[in-house]
Amino acid sequence: MKIVHAQIYPLSIPLLEPIKMSGETVSFANTILLRLKNNLGRTGWGEASAAPLMTGETLESLLANVKFLASNLKDFNWDNPDEYGRQLGKLLYANSSAKSCVEMALLDLHTQEKGIPLWQYLRMKRGCTEASMPKPLPLLRMLGGSIEKEIADAKKFHDEGYRHWKIKVGLLSVDDDLNRAENLCNLLKGDTISVDANGAMRLEDAIRFCTSPKSRQLSFAEQLISSNLPLSDFLELKKRSEIPIGLDESVHGVKEIERFIAAGVLDGSSLKLIKTGGLLSALDCSDLLEKHGLKINLACKVAETSVSAAATAALGFAINGLPWGFSMSNQYLKFDVCDSPLRAKQGHLEYEQLGSVGLGVEPDIDILRESLTKSFPSIEC
């Protein structure tokens, strides 16, 4: 397979409401969509979002790197997905988000050529039979804002079938966050409930949080302390915590997971395609986590469209189970760019929502053009 044309769309899409995290407040999805056309006339799509606090890539740098990769794709044959990582690595060092965007579009094209959905291709790589069907993915919903708003949202989305939740912590005092967590756990008793500090807590505050009786009902706590802290701090937290510990910003690929497993500092991890460098590396990460009996949360960056959601869902359908849920972030957008956006059904995503071949979703070009960020036009390569 040869690539003959590329089109890059840098987008800025408003969220339904701002999402406050410890290090930033997100009001717009700053994301890039890539459209690749091959020599047989088929079109494949990829997406990656700017995440300066997670991958170090701004929209400007991400756009430059995707443009650089897309401009050089024509020099290679793209017949073997197992070689995609090595081939992209020959073009550009690091820059996991840009590589994930390109790999996604290439895999979309490859699985269209094979006449199978992307999720089925990934399942077969994991050893599942071609005829086996995946279970619905449990979708995770974020809770934030005032406690009154959190309670109202929790009741609303619980009635819609959601049973996995994430409470953003780290902005308020430890006592306030503990009270929020306790109140929401009592309201949603029996559900899978987590907190996520995005690395904002000091070690002593994280230990206090994880040893408080008010946090005992939580299913796990994600990235309470900064990824820049020494491994000994993570070990101290894990030893003293009375609830499971998950990592996110600290984990970008197999090497980090292996290091943290050897140190015994985690009970599970959040996987994002922009961190691992793409679907195939994320699949390797999921294999490693499952091998060691560790839990998995799959997540899109806040916020991405149905393109990234479909790719991440394909990975979820390839994994045996997601006890910590799937954070599908297109549900926080004011509008999606795809003809048939992915939507929750009773708090789950079903594989039937994806198309019969390839990635399974298709953006609307007119909506893409209307959603272009004011700073950058679309780019042809």
CATH no. for residue 39? 3.30.390.10
Is residue 156 pLDDT above 90, yes or no? yes
The average pLDDT across 103-127 equals: 97
Q: Indicate whether 287 pLDDT > 80.
A: yes
Q: Is residue 316 one of the residues assigned to a domain? A: yes
Q: How confident is the model at residue 320 (pLDDT cuts 50, 70, 90)?
A: confident
Q: What is the chain's length?
A: 381
30 within a domain of the structure (yes/no): yes
* Whole-angstrom distance, CA of residue 6 vs CA of residue 378: 10
**Are residues 344 and 275 part of one domain?**
yes
Q: 40 lies in a domain?
A: yes
What local confidence, expressed as pLDDT, does residue 20 receive?
87
- According to the model, what pLDDT value does residue 21 have? 84
- Predicted pLDDT at 114: 97
Answer yes or no: is pLDDT of 231 > 90.
yes
Residues 280 and 374 in one domain: no
In a domain, residue 175? The reply is: yes
Residue-number span of the structural domain to which 32 is assigned: 3-115+364-380
Looking at the structure, do residues 218 and 341 belong to the same domain, yes or no?
A: yes
Find the CATH number of the domain harbouring 204: 3.20.20.120
Per residue in 62-78, pLDDT tens? 999 999 999 999 999 99
Of 143, 248, 245, 241, the residue nearest 198 (C-alpha): 248
Instruction: Look at residue 171 in the predicted model and tell me its pLDDT.
Output: 94
Residues 181 and 102 in one domain: no
Model pLDDT for residues 198-223, shown as the tens digit of each residue: 999 999 999 999 999 999 999 999 99
Query: Residue 333: what pLDDT?
Result: 97
What is the rounded average pLDDT of the residues 25-34?
95
Q: Phi then psi for 175, rounded to 5 degrees?
A: -60, -45
Q: Which residue has the tokens 């993570």?
A: 234
Check residue 339 and give its pLDDT.
87
What's the pLDDT at 259? Answer: 98
334 and 191 in one domain? yes
What is the model's pLDDT at position 159?
Answer: 98
Is residue 359, in this structure, part of any structural domain at all? no
Distance of alpha carbon 57 from alpha carbon 14, whole angstroms: 20
Task: State yes or no: pLDDT of 301 exceeds 80.
Answer: yes
Query: What is the predicted pLDDT for the residue at 24?
Result: 82
Residue 57 lies in a domain: yes
Q: Minimal CA–CA distance to 13: which of 301, 379, 273, 315?
A: 301
Residue 180 has pLDDT above 80, yes or no: yes
Domain for residue 70, yes or no?
Answer: yes
b/e 253-281 (16+ beta carbons within 10 angstroms → b): bbebbeebbeeebbbbbbbbbbbbbbbbb
**144 and 256 share one domain:** yes
Residues 108 and 141 in one domain: no
Give 96-119 as a DSSP string: HHHHHHHHHHHHHHHHHHHTSBHH
pTM of the model: 0.97
133 shares a domain with 17: no
Q: How many domains are contained in the chain?
A: 2
Do residues 221 and 80 share a domain? no
Q: Which residues contact 176 (CB under 8 A, 6 or more apart)?
A: none
Q: 296 near 289, Cβ under 8 Å?
A: yes
pLDDT of residue 151: 97
Q: Residues 178, 130: one domain?
A: yes
Contacts of 76 (CB under 8 A, 6+ apart): 3, 87
Mean pLDDT, residues 106-113: 98
Q: Are residues 269 and 376 in the same domain?
A: no
Domain contains 358: no
Please, which pLDDT band fits residue 132 given cuts at 50, 70 and 90?
Answer: confident
Query: Whole-angstrom Cα distance, residue 180 to residue 175?
Result: 9
pLDDT given for residue 23 in this prediction: 77
Same domain for 97 and 200, yes or no, is: no
- Residues of the chain with pLDDT > 90, as a percent, come to 95
51-55: average pLDDT: 93
Structure confidence at residue 266 (pLDDT): 98
pLDDT value, residue 198: 96
**Which pLDDT score, from 0 to 100, does residue 131 have?**
82
Per residue in 161-178, pLDDT (tens digit) is 999 999 999 999 999 999
Local confidence band at 22 (pLDDT 50, 70, 90 cut-offs): confident
